[in-house]
Chain A
Amino acid sequence: MPGRAIVVGAVGLLTAVLAWGLFIALPRWVALPPPAVEPPVESNAPAAPERKIKARLFFVSDDGHGLTGVERDVAFGADPTAQARAILEAQLTSPEPPLLSAIPSGTTLRAVFVANGDAYVDVSSEIVSGHPGGTLSESLTIYTLVAAVKANLPAVGGVQILVNGKEVDTLAGHIDLRQPLVTSPTWVQ
């Protein structure tokens, strides 16, 4: 009898150890943080300059009826998607006066991706909630984004604007956003 009890106890202990190993120790080991990176050695050599490209960004024209292109240095992107992101982030940055942006303040870029030749620009909801409305203003807001991509990445076919990751009918009730758009000479001077 004592021998049987010892065997049962040993099996139970073994099972408990195995369970602890499988369910507690192993996951912790797998999830260990990577070894700390050694801090870079201080060097007196100047840092390599960040690569830039000249990009054309778009702002409200003096007469308020169109968009005017302005050249700016923008970070280089390794691929079309990265380049589109860099250009659009520069476009969404509030400009110094007297330049005036047609993008409502607070609008941020959520994502950019290129598929089947068209670019999809996903922006935050401030582009809708902060929009003043009206066909003119809405057109200028939309074509600012479209022109920023198309003027600098001519290989892109069209640009579709998404808001918070979703397709929208319009930004403010007027311009049809259900398909990719190309630059309109009506609005871009």
Chain B
Amino acid sequence: MEGLIIRDPPRTAVTARRVARPIAWFATVGLVLAVSLMVRLLGQGQTSLTLLSRDTRRALPLAVVNDQELVSLDELAAVFQLTVREEAGAVTVSSRGRTVIFNPEQTIASVAGRMISLPTRPARIAGRLWVPVDFISRALAPIADTRIDLRRASHLLIVGDLRVPRVTMTSEPQPVGHRLIVEITPSTTSTLTREADHLTLKFDADAIDATIPGVPPQGFLQAIRRMDPVTLAIDLGPRFGSYRSSTQAVDNVTRLSLDLLPLPSDGPSVSTGSATAGAPGAAASSAPGFAATPPAGSTVPTPPADLPTFGQPTSPIRTVTIDPGHGGPDLGVQGSGGLTEKTLTLAVGRRVKTLLETRLGLRVLMTRDDDRELPPEARTAVANNNKTDLFISLHANASFRPSNTGASVFVAQFPDEGLARRVLEPHRVPVFGGGIRDIELVPWSLAQIRYIDQSTVLADLLQGRIGATAPLDVRPTDRALLRILASANMPAVLIELGYLSSPEQEARLGNSEFQSSIAGAIVDAVVDFRDYLGRAPEGER
């Protein structure tokens, strides 16, 4: 009988194992590195776009290449039921007979026969084609049957007719208590309810596009968090005793002002006696679009019949439009070091917007918040159509002499101001039923002439504030026939942040700290101007 024979492995097998082990190790390490590299490539910055539709809410992954966010064309094809074909270097994307054609090596595309530009070229990642996120709004939206709303700032992609209002919040300490200001655009009904340790704010919408700010420690408000797609929870702190709220509907924005008040024993009492009795949920505003529900089982005192007027007197500045100059193929001034005017103005504009919103609680509109070209009339239209209180256009200067440096502020000028003012004089017209009425007809191209004096005050204030942080031009304030300001129907200025034709200034303007300080100076000047308007008699405003 043949027994079990145990044999030593042959020498060749041992050698092979010795060789194979290091190879396996190297392969494993290489694989890990490759995967981590891929994850890093795909994982820079915001990693996904949230797709909202009637039926779904899902994430579309994003890749960041050269600071530009890209989305997979395959993912878009699946979501929007697109047909994608690639032939002879050209990519054709079709949807129900309408096509987008582009070359992956170029930054332009043909959308149903019209040329559009893209902020960057598409890229191939792991063999798949990725397109700039703006491809969705610029190329897909025009050929799609359904409404597509891309909100870059909040990384939302809304498909279909959904009600997704923008909700921005700012909080600020008050002499008594703490105030939370919630702005909802467009105006949307909401319900405020008190629970045990938090308030819930529920919006009558399909979802909300909310920017939730950090909350400084103060004892009244601990945090704001999202409970579900349409509800926010406002976590209350140990010093919270009661609250009162008021709403204002201005244009298409609902502004909810929520005052969190202390416990009766905590700190100074509220000066208006009736206000201390502001019961939770009792301060339902009479403004349409807001309803507050009292909490079940509440034991707080009944609200006074005559509620006090809440909030500050109406501020002379509530909305500001920031206009970052140039954009898209219009680079503006190009510095020798590569900094372009369009990039600089957008960077500073975003800083100004953030500061105005967080420090002053103002509503801030940007004529552009990405890299795209806008004609002058479209820029002033943003300000005029939204009844903005201020218009600030940001630019960078250039000189034929590289030695010129410094910031300057321009106010509009008109070729014949006497004639222009006469054109603006009221016209007497007969009215139905007899009598005469004065009406003011303001030609769009001359709108700014009524605000020249105020714009000049603002320019002087800007000069003072900017001059404290940055060098000023030889002529720090000036007037010119500026196309962009002529149609602005509110105080308006154009700020030249400095000279990109000067290499020394270009280096400084590209510095983020310098951009922050000049943005801070602009915001300080807006505060000064708000104070000036507040002091000026009504007739001089």
Contact = CB atoms under 8 A, between A and B. Distances in A.
Nearest to A141: B400
Contacts of A175: 480-483
A106 interface: no
Contacts of B478: 186
Interface in B376-412: 376, 395-401, 403-404, 410
A21 interface: no
B179 interface: no
A64 B473 CA distance: 11
Contacts of B410: 135
B341 A133 contact: yes
B496 interface: yes
B332 A137 contact: no
A119 to B, nearest CB: 15
A181 interface: yes
17 contacts: A64-B400, A65-B399, A102-B400, A132-B333, A132-B400, A134-B496, A134-B500, A135-B397, A135-B410, A135-B496, A136-B404, A137-B397, A137-B399, A140-B400, A169-B375, A173-B330, A174-B482
A64 B325 contact: no
B507 to A, nearest CB: 17
B482 A60 contact: no
Contact of A170 (B397, B398, B475, B483): B483
A179 B415 contact: yes
B326 interface: yes
Nearest to A131: B398
Interface in A41-88: 60, 62-65
Interface centre among A132, A140, A177, A186 (most CB of B within 10 A): A132
A135 B395 contact: yes
Nearest to A175: B481
Interface of B is mostly: mixed
Q: How large is the interface on A (under 10, 10 to 19, 20 to 34, 35 or more residues)?
A: 20 to 34
Contacts of A172: 332
Interface of A: 60, 62-65, 100, 102, 132-137, 139-140, 158, 169-170, 172-182, 186
Size class of the contact patch on chain B: 35 or more
Contacts of A133: 326, 331-334, 341, 398
Contacts of A169: 375-376, 483
Given A133-B334, A176-B486, A181-B415, 11 more contacts: A64-B399, A65-B474, A134-B332, A135-B496, A158-B415, A172-B332, A175-B482, A176-B483, A179-B415, A180-B415, A182-B415
Nearest to A66: B475
B484 interface: yes
Given A133-B333, A179-B415, A174 B474 contact: no
Contacts of A173: 325-326, 330, 332, 376, 483-484
A186 B411 CA distance: 13
A65 B326 CA distance: 23
Contacts of B541: none
Interface in B302-349: 325-326, 330-334, 341
A132 B501 contact: yes
B341 A63 contact: no
Interface of B: 325-326, 330-334, 341, 375-376, 395-401, 403-404, 410, 415, 445, 474-475, 478-484, 486, 494, 496, 499-501
B261 to A, nearest CB: 51
Which A-B residue pairs are the 6 nearest by beta carbons? A64-B401, A134-B398, A133-B333, A134-B397, A176-B483, A132-B398
Nearest to B414: A176
Contacts of B479: 186
Contacts of A132: 333-334, 398, 400, 501
A137 B398 contact: yes
Nearest to B487: A176
A106 B404 CA distance: 24
Contacts of A179: 415
Contact of B499 (A63, A134, A178): A134
B480 A186 contact: yes
Nearest to B481: A176
- Of the listed residues A63, A132, A176, A180, the one surrounded by the most CB atoms of chain B closer than 10 A to its CB is A176
B404 A64 contact: yes
Contacts of B332: 133-134, 172-173
A132 B500 CA distance: 10
Contacts of B399: 64-65, 134, 136-137
Nearest to A180: B415
A179 B403 CA distance: 32
A21 to B, nearest CB: 51
A132 B494 CA distance: 18
